Amino acid sequence: MSASETKDQVAALGEKYKYGFVTEIEMERAPKGLNHDIVRFISAKKNEPEWMLDWRMAAFRRWCEMTEPSWARVRYPKIDYQDAYYYAAPKKAEQYKSLDEIDPKLIETYNKLGIPLSEQKKLAGVAVDAVFDSVSVATTFKEKLNDAGVIFCPISEAIRDYPDLVRKYLGSVVPVTDNFFATLNSAVFSDGTFVYVPKGVRCPMELSTYFRINASQTGQFERTLIVADEGSYVSYLEGCTAPMRDENQLHAAVVELVALENAEIKYSTVQNWYPGDENGRGGIYNFVTKRGDCRGANSKISWTQVETGSAITWKYPSCILRGDNTVGEFYSIAITNHYQQADTGTKMIHLGKNTRSRIISKGISAGKAQNTYRGLVSVHPRANNARNYTQCDSLLIGAKCGAHTVPYIESRNPSARVEHEATTSKIAEDQLFYCLQRGLSPEEAVALIVNGFCKEVLQQLPMEFAVEAQKLVGISLEGSVG
């Protein structure tokens, strides 16, 4: 059996993207293109108060003066921002009062995705918010969360129902002017999730949001804001899928986390947007700004991400370690296959004393994919005894892919200790042969070896999702052995 034959055999097994179906459902859209009227249209659709519209308009004016960044190691044709829809919603969406009223086709879609919206079939202890294109269609477990005082709702609802909380924190971590994609999001975000955990409350269940792009030629701009008040704890997971389409679709989300004194937020992502086909056609452009602010002393924010989808991933979930004794963590698995490109990493900004950060990044590259880790560790003058440990491991499968590590380290405090370790390895032929000789198929062998490589990160995921993530790791690499 030659190398190329193995490749073909495995490729034949792995062509299908399981989530690539389209739901036929009547959609309501804003006209194509982006201008003041579209921003007003979105705001009006959401029945937003005046302050929110002003906020959006300010962002839009700012965005018009900005240029798209080009420093990342990703290549793509110029995006025509006027050739996309900025709002699409299943018709009648806003009238849903209970789960029974939701279009059965939507329920079916989420069932196909493995998300049980009906509370009878609930995942043990996981509350789910589901965002379909531009609107949030269902939030489960509302009552139980209410009892604990936890607010978990679509952000559009929060803007209407909890304006003080939203105004206080929205844009306080990722300013409206932050970067091209975040500013665009600030102008046109259509929905997303809002979480508030009150003082001293340990959120009684995992919170989870599933994002689904369904409509064609539509950008998705969701906005997530999570606030953990003093001494509280919350674990949140987001999952993302999209249909297979030849076109590229834009996804530009903003996620803001605020941890007050002694609070802890654990944020996990399983990103499986459609990656494009094996020739690099189609797929999601994923330009996401995620940042957490450890605002109060002794707080902790932990990011875990499993990035297997998207044609392009541009994403740097970061921590601002503002309070003294705060902890930031970033655990990442980024898998690129075929023509996928990922430029992803984190920023750890040490502002407070005795702040600690830990970065574990596992990049896996196969096919003709390019995978870049880009990370910044910055220690400010006041951050006495700041500590960082960074470990970046890259695994290459085949000879035509690339792995790149771009660490930036800035230390302006002599007591800081920053450690960086990096390795690059290949799946060795003898490892594969050993597995095959013991009866594993080539795809089982790759999945096993890669899961071993990613183990430290997979262990960080909530139990309920770890098994799914392990399978996803295997599926994303089908067609990669050679």
For other proteins, the binding residues (CB under 8 A) are 1-3, 6, 428-431, 433-442, 444, 448-449, 451-456
Q: How many CB atoms lie within 10 A of CB 392?
A: 22
Question: Which of residues 22 and 467 has its CB atom nearest to other proteins in the complex?
Answer: 467
Of 270, 343, 360, give the one whose Cα is nearest residue 309.
270
In the complex, least distance from residue 217 CB atom to other proteins, rounded to whole angstroms: 42
| Cα angle 40-43-44, degrees, rounded to a multiple of 5 | 85
In the complex, least distance from residue 443 CB atom to other proteins, rounded to whole angstroms: 11
In the complex, least distance from residue 305 CB atom to other proteins, rounded to whole angstroms: 18
In the complex, least distance from residue 451 CB atom to other proteins, rounded to whole angstroms: 7
Q: What is 215-251 written as a DSSP string?
A: STTB-B-EEEEEEE-TT-EEEEEEEEE----SSEEEE
Q: Is 273 helix (H, G, I), strand (E, B) or coil?
A: coil
Q: What is the DSSP letter of 184?
A: H
Do 350 and 379 touch, CB atoms closer than 8 A? yes
In the complex, least distance from residue 42 CB atom to other proteins, rounded to whole angstroms: 46
Element (H, E) at 313: strand 312-315
Question: Which of residues 50 and 430 has its CB atom nearest to other proteins in the complex?
Answer: 430
d(CA 278, CA 71): 26
Question: Which of residues 80 and 399 has its CB atom nearest to other proteins in the complex?
Answer: 399
Q: What is the DSSP letter of 83?
A: S
Using a 10 angstrom Cβ sphere, with 0-12 exposed, 13-18 middle and 19 or more buried, the burial of residue 120 is exposed
In the complex, least distance from residue 156 CB atom to other proteins, rounded to whole angstroms: 42
Question: Which of residues 111 and 431 has its CB atom nearest to other proteins in the complex?
Answer: 431
d(CA 447, CA 317): 26
In DSSP terms, 418 is beta-bridged to 388
d(CA 174, CA 168): 13
Do 311 and 275 touch, CB atoms closer than 8 A? yes
Q: Is 157 helix (H, G, I), strand (E, B) or coil?
A: helix
Do 256 and 226 touch, CB atoms closer than 8 A? yes
In the complex, least distance from residue 432 CB atom to other proteins, rounded to whole angstroms: 8
Of 127, 140, 137, give the one whose Cα is nearest residue 105.
137
Question: Which of residues 146 and 459 has its CB atom nearest to other proteins in the complex?
Answer: 459
Q: Which two tokens stand for residue 159?
A: 């803007």
Q: CA-CA distances (angstroms) from residue 262 to 180, 265, 325? A: 33, 10, 10
In the complex, least distance from residue 441 CB atom to other proteins, rounded to whole angstroms: 6
Do 371 and 365 touch, CB atoms closer than 8 A? yes
Element (H, E) at 442: helix 442-453
Question: Which of residues 247 and 444 has its CB atom nearest to other proteins in the complex?
Answer: 444
d(CA 344, CA 195): 25
d(CA 305, CA 285): 17
In the complex, least distance from residue 2 CB atom to other proteins, rounded to whole angstroms: 7
In the complex, least distance from residue 435 CB atom to other proteins, rounded to whole angstroms: 8
Q: Which two tokens stand for residue 133?
A: 């294109």
Using a 10 angstrom Cβ sphere, with 0-12 exposed, 13-18 middle and 19 or more buried, the burial of residue 285 is buried
Question: Which of residues 280 and 474 has its CB atom nearest to other proteins in the complex?
Answer: 474
In the complex, least distance from residue 271 CB atom to other proteins, rounded to whole angstroms: 22
d(CA 426, CA 407): 21
In the complex, least distance from residue 445 CB atom to other proteins, rounded to whole angstroms: 9
